[in-house]
């Protein structure tokens, strides 16, 4: 009963604060529009906005390791494992400039989704080949302008905390644009808020580990499929989980090169 009440308070807090903070985001967008085409200032405000929910929750202790591995003068293809909705909130705690690649439904959420549009984050409609092609082109443009991308290569949240199959889109982008890959390992969020759940679960340690960047020249000779397989194997080692370990092969969901959250 207490968990349900606390969870209701949490989600109500997100709703009310979003209504209050979106006008501030809109004002920042208007003021900085002439001199900040990459929306760096607005993204930093969005990092503050999202971080409020973990800063103010005494049940969550977020530990971030390796923030220094994110160089401000480099545009990365950032990839992270995806355990929970909370991954989005805690990854904003990095306070580094990037553009999310996210399912288009997120952009339809009042206030939060509108702010995503203002930030020029990248929408994706799952299972729609034209949307995937458009998303890939926008991602190339964002990298060319100097903005990093944040992508969940699993495409959706894990059902059981184990690593799912990786889609190839993020790694195709890294190969095509000669961008370094920045691996990020998330832990603890699935215990706090599992997929398809809205009730928060007790006190948990949440971890974000930013690993050293992987330069393009170290994987330039690989195919997209080889790079994807190697990256997933690295995440299996780093997380100690493998959702495909008991299956000879797992079918891909949606387009084989789609990415999203």
> What confidence score (pLDDT) does residue 181 get?
98
pLDDT at 261: 38
pLDDT number for residue 199: 67
* Closest-CA residue to 88 (of 112, 71, 111, 66): 112
Confidence of residue 229 (pLDDT cuts 50, 70, 90): very high
**What confidence tier does 255 reach under pLDDT thresholds 50, 70, 90?**
very low
Burial of 6 (0-12, 13-18, 19+ CB in 10 A): middle
How high is the pLDDT of residue 253? 34
Half-sphere exposure at residue 227, Cβ-oriented, CA atoms within 13 angstroms: 27
Q: pLDDT digit string (tens) for 84-94? A: 888 999 999 99
Please tell me the pTM assigned to this model. Answer: 0.88
pLDDT digits (tens, 9 = 90+) for 108-142: 999 999 999 999 999 999 888 999 999 999 999 99
CB atoms within 10 A of CB 52: 16
Rounded to an integer, the average pLDDT of 215-224 is 97
Question: Does 245 score more than 80 pLDDT?
Answer: no
Strand 122-124's sheet: what is its strand order? Answer: 60-65, 204-210, 181-187, 77-80, 148-151, 98-103, 122-124
pLDDT at 249: 43
Q: Are 237 and 95 in contact (CB under 8 A)?
A: no
Q: Which residue has the tokens 């195709």?
A: 172
Q: What does the alpha-carbon distance between residue 122 and residue 137 come to, in Å, rounded to a whole number?
A: 10
Q: Are 239 and 83 in contact (CB under 8 A)?
A: no
Domains of the chain (ranges plus CATH)? 60-103+122-239 (3.40.1130.10)
pLDDT tens for 165-209 read 999 999 999 999 999 999 999 998 887 776 666 666 766 789 999
Cα–Cα distances (Å) from 105 to 28, 77, 101, 110, in that order, read 24, 22, 12, 11
Which tens digit of pLDDT belongs to each residue from 46-61? 999 999 998 888 778 8
Low-confidence winner among 18-27, 90-99, 196-205 (lowest mean pLDDT) = 196-205
pLDDT for 34-47, tens place per residue? 999 999 999 999 99
* pLDDT value of residue 79: 98
% of the chain exceeding 70 in pLDDT: 88
Query: Who has greater pLDDT, 159 or 102?
Result: 102
Read off the pLDDT band of 6 (50, 70, 90).
low
**Could you tell me where the DSSP H helices lie in the chain?**
2-32, 40-55, 86-91, 112-118, 129-144, 169-177, 189-192, 224-239
Mean pLDDT along residues 154-164: 84
Secondary structure class of 151 (helix, strand, coil): strand
Over residues 9-27, mean pLDDT: 93
Q: How far is the C-alpha of 106 from the C-alpha of 124, rounded, in Å?
A: 10
């Amino acid at each position: 009963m207490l968990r349900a009440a606390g969870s209701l308070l949490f989600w109500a807090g997100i709703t009310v604060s979003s209504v209050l903070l979106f006008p501030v985001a809109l004002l920042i967008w208007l003021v900085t529009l002439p001199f900040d085409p990459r929306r760096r200032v607005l993204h930093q405000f969005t990092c503050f906005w999202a971080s409020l929910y973990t800063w103010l929750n005494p049940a969550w202790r977020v530990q971030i390791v390796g923030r220094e591995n994110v160089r401000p003068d480099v545009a990365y293809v950032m990839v992270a494992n995806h355990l929970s909705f909370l991954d989005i909130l805690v990854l904003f705690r990095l306070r580094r400039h990037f553009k999310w690649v996210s399912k288009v439904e997120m952009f339809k959420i009042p206030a939060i989704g509108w702010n995503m549009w203002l930030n020029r984050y990248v929408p994706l409609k799952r299972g729609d080949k034209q949307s995937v092609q458009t998303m890939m082109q926008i991602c190339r443009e964002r990298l060319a302008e100097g903005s990093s991308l944040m992508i969940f290569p699993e495409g959706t949240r894990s059902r059981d905390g184990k690593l799912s199959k990786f889609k190839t889109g993020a790694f195709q982008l890294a190969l095509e644009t000669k961008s370094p890959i920045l691996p990020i390992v998330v832990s603890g969020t699935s215990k706090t808020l599992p997929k398809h759940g809205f009730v928060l679960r007790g006190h948990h340690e949440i971890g974000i580990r930013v690993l050293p960047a992987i330069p393009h020249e170290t994987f330039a000779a690989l195919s997209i499929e080889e790079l994807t397989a190697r990256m997933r194997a690295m995440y299996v080692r780093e997380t100690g989980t493998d959702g495909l370990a008991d299956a000879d092969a797992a079918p891909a969901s949606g387009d084989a090169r789609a990415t999203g959250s």
